[in-house]
Amino acid sequence: MDLLIPDIGLLFWMVVVFGLLYFILSKFAWAPITESLKEREDDIQKALDMAEKTRIEMAKLQADNQKLLAEARAERDAILRGAKETADRVIADSRDKATEEGNRIILKAREELQTERQAMVAEVKREVITLSLDIAEKILKKELSDKKSQEELVKSLVAEARLN
Partner 1 sequence: MSRFLIRKAFLSIVLFLSTLAAVTAQHDEHHDHGATGEKKKFNVGDMIMHHIKDDHGWEFAHGLTLPLPVILYTQDKGLDVFSSSHFAHEANYNGYVKEHNKIYRAGANGEADKTIKVYDFSITKNVASLLLSAALLLLVFFSVRKGYEKNRGKAPKGLQSFLEPVILFVRDEIAKPNIGPKYAKYLPFLLTLFFFILFNNLLGLLPGGANLTGNIAITMTLAVITFLIVNLSGNKHYWAHLFKPTGVPVALLPIMIPVEIVGVFMKPFSLMVRLFANITAGHIIILSLLGLIFIANDLGGSGMGWGVSPLIIVFSLFMNLIELLVAFLQAFIFTLLTSMYIGSAIEDSHEADHGH
3-state secondary structure 53-115: HHHHHHHHHHHHHHHHHHHHHHHHHHHHHHHHHHHHHHHHHHHHHHHHHHHHHHHHHHHHHHH
**Candidate segments 8-16, 63-71, 108-116, 154-162, binder of partner 1 by CB under 8 A:** 8-16
Nearer to partner 1, 3 or 163 (CB): 3
Q: Does 6 bind partner 1 (CB under 8 A)?
A: yes
CA distance 47 to 29: 27
Q: How far is the CB of 50 from partner 1 (least distance, A)?
A: 15
Answer yes or no whether residue 48 interacts with partner 1 by CB under 8 A: no
Q: Between residue 20 and residue 39, which ones bind partner 1 under the rule CB under 8 A?
A: 20-22, 24-26, 28-34, 36-37
Task: Give min distance, CB of 53 to partner 1, in A.
Answer: 21
Q: 7: helix, coil or strand?
A: coil
Our CB check for partner 1 shows the closer of 3 and 161 to be 3
Q: Give least dist CB 45 to partner 1, A.
A: 14
Q: Which runs of consecutive H residues, i.e. helices, occur in 3-30?
A: 8-25
3-state secondary structure at position 137: helix
Query: Closest by alpha carbon to 77, among 66, 85, 89, 67?
Result: 85
| Position 44 contacts partner 1 (CB under 8 A) | no
Using the minimum distance from each CB to partner 1, give the nearer residue, 43 or 101. 43
CB of 27 to partner 1, least distance (A): 9
Whether 142 contacts 149, CB under 8 Å: yes
CA 117 to CA 100: how far, in whole Å? 26
Residue 47 in contact with partner 1, rule: CB under 8 A? no
* Footprint on this chain of partner 1 (rule: CB under 8 A): 1-15, 17-18, 20-22, 24-26, 28-34, 36-37, 40, 43
